[in-house]
């Protein structure tokens, strides 16, 4: 399966077939939502891929022009619904940048803990769904079992399980919870009584302790699995030049060997959240890579996400340590209906899938003149056409899956 055809024209006469157009999606399970790929195939070789998007277009940007910023927060949830917390954060920060608001230390601390937990949850889905694309079912079930606990912890924090609207301009809507009943999944996995009462903080720590011991199991199931390596190593190679030109960001960019993470290299309003925290930015190439892996291939993209989970766990731990001593309130008041100045600003944050950008133009009114959501997946997906040229039909899900796209964010 992992062979790559150097020149598709050189196919033996006996096996040559007519060119055929194959429609993959929009309801295909391995296109991660409603993505339609139009494939021009000659036998098993795909010569051209044309992505068609827009099936989930909900005019979010137009709606944003008629709503005040706090009212638009729920719409950002519904863009990248697997990392809604990180989307809330991006939009809240851009509004704070526009009106020049300072957020208390406590609010930044809450945001960091929740955003990094969100990153863990998002990468768990990315990992599980990628295994599913390649025909391995068990990692998907494990990933969703683990994610379930994070969703339970989020539910205790803000009442919602998927579309949180937890971070708003000025801080977060609620402080982190105190005593809670242990999430049922966590009780079962750790062998505790389901009626156990404990601090939310301790529940998070208990979960992280448990999750950390599991990561090597995922590596056994996927990362080091011979079939998985065969299907991913050396396939879909994204060169650093192409990654730059196509505006790829996040794990996709870092797997091409470009060391850039907005949590470290971004604008001050965002990086100040991460000040005093220790974390590494995993960048390819890796010493741990098995034979056959090349810079910027599917395996490397997958592995960067796995490494980021470890870093995110470390960040949550550090955040919880600092929670008690963090100064100020969890929220600075943002007056509903307060006017946005006649200025504009753009800010990108490091969302699990890449650099999510928001651009807001104010016009002395409560509603912005323009709200723009620049999707990271949109840019990452645009690279599929050149990436999938002259690969085998069976490798298409492997390449598209490794980009880890969410259609809600692409179509907005």
Binding residues (CB under 8 A) for other proteins: these are 53-54, 57, 59, 61-62, 97-98, 242, 244-247, 258, 260, 265, 267, 342-346, 348, 355, 357, 359, 361, 363-365, 369-370, 372, 374, 378-379, 382-383, 386, 411-412
Do residues 381 and 56 make contact, with C-beta atoms less than 8 angstroms apart?
no
Ramachandran assignment for 100, one of left (phi > 0), alpha (psi -120 to 50 degrees), beta (any other): left
Shortest distance, position 340 Cβ to other proteins, whole Å: 11
Question: How far apart are the C-alpha atoms of 127 and 130, rounded to whole Å?
Answer: 5
Residue 403 three-state SS: coil
Cβ nearer to other proteins, comparing 109 with 380:
380
CB atoms within 10 A of CB 190: 15
Shortest distance, position 357 Cβ to other proteins, whole Å: 5
Shortest distance, position 374 Cβ to other proteins, whole Å: 4
Q: In terms of Cα–Cα distance, which of 171, 152, 172, 170 is closest to 161?
A: 152
Cβ nearer to other proteins, comparing 9 with 244:
244
Shortest distance, position 295 Cβ to other proteins, whole Å: 16
Shortest distance, position 287 Cβ to other proteins, whole Å: 23
Do residues 408 and 373 make contact, with C-beta atoms less than 8 angstroms apart?
no
Displacement of CA 61 from its chain's centroid (Å): 20
CA atoms within 13 A on the CB side of 20: 11
CB atoms within 10 A of CB 294: 16
Cβ nearer to other proteins, comparing 91 with 207:
91
Do residues 63 and 101 make contact, with C-beta atoms less than 8 angstroms apart?
no
Shortest distance, position 300 Cβ to other proteins, whole Å: 18
Which regions of 36-178 does DSSP assign to beta strands (E)? 36-42, 45-52, 167-168, 171-172
Q: What is the greatest pairwise CA distance in the chain?
A: 75
Residue 371's beta-bridge partner residues? 360
Shortest distance, position 66 Cβ to other proteins, whole Å: 11
């Amino acid at each position: 399966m992992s062979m790559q055809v150097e020149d598709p024209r050189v196919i033996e006469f006996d096996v040559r077939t007519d060119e055929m157009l194959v429609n993959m999606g929009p309801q295909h399970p391995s296109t991660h939502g409603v993505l339609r790929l139009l494939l021009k195939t000659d036998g098993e070789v795909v010569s051209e891929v044309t992505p068609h998007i827009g099936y989930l277009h909900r005019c979010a940007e137009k709606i944003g022009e008629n709503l005040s910023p706090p009212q638009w927060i729920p719409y950002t949830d519904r863009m990248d619904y697997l990392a809604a917390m990180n989307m809330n954060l991006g939009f809240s920060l851009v509004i704070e940048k526009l009106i020049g608001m300072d957020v208390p230390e406590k609010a930044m601390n809450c945001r960091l803990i929740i955003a990094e937990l969100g990153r863990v949850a998002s990468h768990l889905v990315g990992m599980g769904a990628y295994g599913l694309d390649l025909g391995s079912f068990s990692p998907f079930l494990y990933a969703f079992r683990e994610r379930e606990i994070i969703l339970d912890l989020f539910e205790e924090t803000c009442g919602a399980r998927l579309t949180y609207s937890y971070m708003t301009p000025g801080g977060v809507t609620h402080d982190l919870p105190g005593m809670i009943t242990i999430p049922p999944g966590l009780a079962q996995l750790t062998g505790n009584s389901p009626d156990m009462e404990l601090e939310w903080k301790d529940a998070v720590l208990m979960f992280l302790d448990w999750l950390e011991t599991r990561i090597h199991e995922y590596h056994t199931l996927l990362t080091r699995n011979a079939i998985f390596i065969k299907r991913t190593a050396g396939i879909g190679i994204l060169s650093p030049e192409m990654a730059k030109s196509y505006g790829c960001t996040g794990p996709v960019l870092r797997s091409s060997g470009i060391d850039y993470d907005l949590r470290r290299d971004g604008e001050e309003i965002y990086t100040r959240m991460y000040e005093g925290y220790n974390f590494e930015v995993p960048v390819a190439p890796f010493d741990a890579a098995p034979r056959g892996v090349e810079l910027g291939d599917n395996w490397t993209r997958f592995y960067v996400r796995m490494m980021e989970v470890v870093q995110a766990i470390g960040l949550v731990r550090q955040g919880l340590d600092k929670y008690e001593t963090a100064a100020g309130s969890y929220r600075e008041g943002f007056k509903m209906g307060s006017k946005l100045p006649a200025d504009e600003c753009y800010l990108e944050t490091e969302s699990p899938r890449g650099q999510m950008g928001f651009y807001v133009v104010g016009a002395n009114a409560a509603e912005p003149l323009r709200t723009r959501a620049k999707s990271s997946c949109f840019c990452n997906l645009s690279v599929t056409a050149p990436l999938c040229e002259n690969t085998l039909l069976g490798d298409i899900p492997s390449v598209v899956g490794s980009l880890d796209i969410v259609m809600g964010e692409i179509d907005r």
